[in-house]
Copies of this chain bind each other. A is one copy, B any other.
Amino acid sequence: MKRLEDKILSEGIALNEQVLKVDSFLNHQVDPKLMQDIGQEFARRFRDNGATKVLTIESSGIAPAIFAALELDVPLIFAKKQKSITLTDELIVEPVYSFTKQMTSHVAVSRKFLNSEDRILIIDDFLANGEAALGLGKIVEKTGASVVGIGIVIEKSFQPGRDKLIEAGYQVESLARIKALAKDNISFVEKGE
């Protein structure tokens, strides 16, 4: 998605070869028009998948996901990150390991908002090692519902997340695919690459 790539080039900061900071338009300050474009692009790519709900994780997933949900005319659910596990019958909880933060958090969704008939489109801001998306996929599948696609705003294609998701059988659509990061140099995967 050209407009997103341009924004990453003009405002993204490669802190090192692993970490891209995009807190001026996605993770802290948020560009609402760009989020709307992103939501519309997700809707275009997944329109025929018959999603009944969009699922994301707080907090940075919410802005792009709400526009995708609006366009697809379905509700959004945002999974909650919990420090402590308060296991109740009402919550479905999955541990998700973050390589960046080197810690495990627990991601929870209320059982009452997912049922076995649901067809879930997962949206997240970043794809690196795939742990968050796989965790959300597990939550969905525990309810008997199905995942009809995974939409990612920024994929770090040099990390193994995409391959893991495809291996798990998911359709993955990433709006920007980063091939390599280096100080003052961000390159994208070209079409067909």
Contact = CB atoms under 8 A, between A and B. Distances in A.
Interface residues of A, number: 30
B70 A28 contact: no
B29 A77 contact: yes
B32 A59 contact: no
A28 B58 CA distance: 9
Nearest to A24: B113
Interface in A53-104: 58-59, 62-63, 66-67, 69-70, 73-78, 80, 83
Contacts of A36: 70
Interface in A1-60: 23-25, 28-33, 35-36, 58-59
Interface of A: 23-25, 28-33, 35-36, 58-59, 62-63, 66-67, 69-70, 73-78, 80, 83, 109-110, 113
23 contacts: A23-B110, A28-B80, A28-B110, A29-B77, A29-B110, A29-B113, A30-B62, A30-B66, A30-B75, A30-B77, A32-B67, A32-B70, A32-B74, A32-B75, A33-B70, A35-B70, A36-B70, A58-B58, A58-B59, A59-B78, A59-B80, A62-B63, A66-B66
